[in-house]
Amino acid sequence: MNLLSKINIYRRKVTKKLTNSIGNSGGSFSNIEFIDDFSKIKRVLIVRPNHRLGNTLLYTPVVLEVIEAFPQASIDLFVKGKVAKIVFKNYTSVNRFIVLPKKHFKKLHKYLYGWFSLITKRYDLVINVDVKSSSGKIATKISNSKYKFYGSEFEKIIKFNAKQKHFAKLPVYKLRNYLYNSSDKIIENPIKELNLQLSKNEILSSKEKLNSIVSDTKKETIGIFTYATGNKCYSEDWWNEMYSKLLIEFKDYNIVEILPVENISQINFKAPTYYSKDIREIAAFISNTKLFIGADSGMMHLACATKTAVIGLFSKTPKEKYGPYGKNKFGINTNEVSIDSTIEIIKKTLKK
């Protein structure tokens, strides 16, 4: 571990300790300042300084909730890295990105400029997406706005159940309780799904690429993603067994492996492959398939941001929090479910 990594770990520990009390209501509903008139909210800042693809996709429901609540508002996003600009490219309500560099010690001037930008513009409402983010709480604290939602206001007031604690849902539930001044119930209206807002041209262009890879005799395609980071990645033996059974059970389907940026295949490139470094292009490609199968990863959440059915594979991380969210999107705990049983779940999903 180099010196910068050590400094960064120490920085996180210190900032977490210093920001524990920021935004807390002290367990009292009366200590929270609520919005008295929605029509006054013209400029909104949403705070989520995280560079990971999955984490960025998981707060698209929050942005959609804000757009629905304040259709007249212009939205700025306080983010880290380049991925947010790609994910929210077609969101017409998103006006401006305040971007922190992914590696701030190497680009300190851009890092400091990003923070300085927070205090140079006036907002009507600031929303922090992740209650555990020290940077998010600090950004909300120093921003120039009358109304500020830290995400921790209801921590000691409302009990959220397991289904509500999914990372795409919980920030929305909390935000609703804040917007509609509710301490006695959770507003259970349907929550928007992950959404890239792909254009028709993006989808049609990727359909041509899919057609150039697969057989003309088979109408539908199953996409598999065999890679994942760290211990979330399934072994070559596991994937080879799964792939062999997919070939046997789904003879009427093309099976295409979608490759990661590392260009790694856990089945040694046995299937036809698709490779791209363009996030939106990959999502558009997946949207032209019938089903996506892959482990917990940014790619799995990218698939969830399309209308394609998704089977997410979980063995280390809790599917209740990170699992596929949306219509015909399911998480499977492979510690409890065998490959044969997974095949049966895939059959049922395809029938839907």
- pLDDT for 228-251, tens place per residue? 999 999 999 999 999 999 999 999
According to the model, what pLDDT value does residue 28 have? 64
The residues pairing with 144 across neighbouring beta strands, listed in sequence order, are 122
Please, which contacts does 237-242 make with residues 24 or more away whose CB atoms are closer than 8 Å?
A: 238/266, 238/339, 239/266, 239/267, 240/266, 240/267, 241/339, 242/293, 242/339, 242/342
Q: What is the model's pLDDT at position 279?
A: 97
Inter-axis angle of helices 279-287 and 200-213, to 10 degrees? 70
Q: Phi, psi at residue 241, to the nearest 5°?
A: -65, -45
| Residue 102 binned pLDDT confidence (cut-offs 50, 70, 90) | confident
200-351: which CATH topology? Answer: Rossmann fold (3.40.50)
In the chain, % of residues over pLDDT 70: 90
Please give the pLDDT value at position 60: 98
Label the pairing between strands 220-225 and 253-258.
parallel
Alpha carbon separation from 273 to 12, 224, 241, 300 (Å, rounded):
40, 9, 18, 17
For residue 15, how many C-alpha atoms fall within 13 Å in the half-sphere facing its CB? 14
Q: What is the mean pLDDT of residues 71-95?
A: 97
pLDDT of residue 163: 86
- The pLDDT, as a whole number, for residue 207 is 95
Provide the β-strand partners of residue 295. 313
User: What confidence score (pLDDT) does residue 11 get?
Assistant: 47
- Phi first, then psi: what are they for 108, rounded to 5°? -60, -35
Report the sign of the C-alpha dihedral through residues 107, 112, 115, 116, in that order: negative
| Cα separation values, 90 from 68, 84, 87, 304, 308, Å | 16, 11, 8, 17, 19
Quick check: pTM over 0.85? yes
pLDDT value of residue 147: 95
Nearest to 243 by CA among 339, 315, 323: 339
Give CA 115 to chain center in angstroms.
Answer: 23
Looking at residue 8, its pLDDT comes to 52
Domains 11-179 and 200-351 share a fold: yes
What is the arithmetic mean of pLDDT over 69-73? 96
Is 182 a residue whose pLDDT tops 80?
no
**129 secondary structure, DSSP code:** S
Confidence of residue 14 (pLDDT cuts 50, 70, 90): very low
- Domain borders along the chain are 11-179, 200-351
pLDDT by residue (tens digit) across 16-60? 554 555 656 555 666 778 898 999 999 999 999 999 999 999 999
Does 313 score more than 50 pLDDT?
A: yes
User: How long is the chain?
Assistant: 352
Cα–Cα distance measured from residue 279 to residue 197, given in angstroms and rounded to the nearest whole number: 13
Q: CATH 3.40.30.10: does it fit domain 11-179?
A: no
Strands 309-314 and 273-274: unpaired
- For residue 154, what pLDDT is reported? 81
Angle subtended by helix axes 108-118 and 134-142, to nearest 10: 50
3-state secondary structure of 262: coil
pLDDT-derived band of residue 7, with 50, 70 and 90 as boundaries? very low
Check whether 138 has a pLDDT greater than 90. Answer: yes
Average pLDDT for residues 61-75, to the nearest whole number? 97
Quick one: which of 177, 154, 161, 162 has its CA closest to 321?
162
The alpha helices in the chain, defined as continuous H runs, are: 3-18, 53-57, 60-69, 83-87, 108-118, 134-142, 170-179, 200-213, 236-249, 279-287, 298-304, 319-322, 339-351
In order, the DSSP letters of 327-338 are TTEEEEETTTS-
